[in-house]
Structures are given as C-alpha cells and as structure tokens.
Amino acid sequence: ALFHDVLIVCGVFSWLGYFYNVEIDSLFAVSLLTIAGYSVNNTVVVFDRIREKSILESQLSFKYQIDKAVSSTLTRTLYTSFTTLLPLICILIWGGSTLYWFSFSLIIGVITGSWSSIALAPSLLSITSNK
C-alpha cells in the first residue's frame, strides 16, 4: 500500500512533466517522504484496530474482523484526511509558485494514502492471511 501511494504520485508527476513541463525538485522528494509517513501512520492505525478486533472478537471470521475494524476507523481516517487537506488546499491557493507543486503532490498523496489505508491494505491483508 505504501508503494502504491508513492507510485501514484510519481505517475501523476511524470504525466505532468510530459504534458506541462513540470519539473521535479527537492520539494517533490520531501513530499514523497511525507506521503510515505502519512500512509504508514494511517495503515498502522487501521491494522492496530484489526489486531484489537481479532483479540476481542475471535469467534468471528478474520474477514469480518477486518471489516468491523475498517468500519470503526473509517470516520477517524476521513476526518484526519479532511483536516489535513484543508491547509494543503490553502497552501495550494495562497502559497505562491514555490509551494504550488509541493502542496499539489501532498494533496494527491493524502487522497491516495487515505484510500489505500481504508481499502487497499486491509484487502491485501485478507487476501494474504492464513486465518
């Protein structure tokens, strides 16, 4: 899921570079590291809730435990993403030309990171688990 988030942002910027001559600078590397940290944090929260549900509700199937854990962390993840997007959008609008592509990449990363921690990582866990 972490590789997915960074790959999506790199793919978007490769298309932007191809069509609109957007250059990659050191702020882009910083944004990739920030996106990776954000994605790991969200995924750890979801997986910790999965661990709690697997201990408390061991009579349920593992896929149902994952579903209940994701459902219980869904609002937290969406609220966190929304409150992160608000200042990023403000930086995008009023931050000037220096911070424009930095905030744009972070916006893409927060959106894909939230999606991957809600949908992609738990799905991969249920597919690859032996339970």
What per-residue confidence (pLDDT) applies to 107? Answer: 98
In this prediction, residue 129 has a pLDDT band, given cuts at 50, 70 and 90, of: confident
- Amino acid making up residue 9: V
What per-residue confidence (pLDDT) applies to 114? Answer: 96
Q: Tens digit of pLDDT for each residue in 85-126?
A: 999 999 999 999 999 999 999 999 999 999 999 999 999 999
What per-residue confidence (pLDDT) applies to 81? Answer: 96
DSSP state of 61: -
pLDDT (mean) for 56-85: 94
pLDDT (mean) for 56-72: 93
CA distance 89 to 93: 6
Residue with tokens 């191809």: 18
CA distance 131 to 75: 27
Question: What's the token pair of residue 114?
Answer: 């939230």
Question: What's the token pair of residue 52?
Answer: 């709690």
- For the chain, percent of residues with pLDDT exceeding 70: 99
What per-residue confidence (pLDDT) applies to 130? Answer: 78
Cβ atoms of residues 46 and 69 within 8 Å: yes
